[in-house]
Amino acid sequence: MADTTRLAAFRFAAFVALALGLAACGVISTLVEGWKYAKAVEADLESATGVKPSVGFKWENGRLLTVTVAYPQLYEKKPLAALAEIVRRSVETHFKQKPEDIELSFSLGRSGSGTVAELQGDEGGVRGVSSQRF
Surface-to-core class of residue 75, CB atoms within 10 Å of its CB (0-12 exposed, 13-18 middle, 19+ buried):
middle
Angle, vertex CA 121, rays to CA 112 and CA 49, nearest 5: 60
What CATH number does domain 2-133 carry, 3.30.70.1350, 3.30.465.10, 3.40.50.20, 1.10.10.10? 3.30.70.1350
Cα of 62 vs its chain's centroid, Å: 15
Per-residue pLDDT at 133:
45
Residue-range domain boundaries for the chain: 2-133
Which amino acid makes up residue 121?
G
| pLDDT tens column, 2-23 | 677 776 777 777 666 655 554 5
Beta carbons of 72 and 53 less than 8 angstroms apart: yes
| pLDDT tens column, 96-128 | 889 999 999 999 888 665 555 555 555 544 444
Percent of the chain with pLDDT over 70: 69
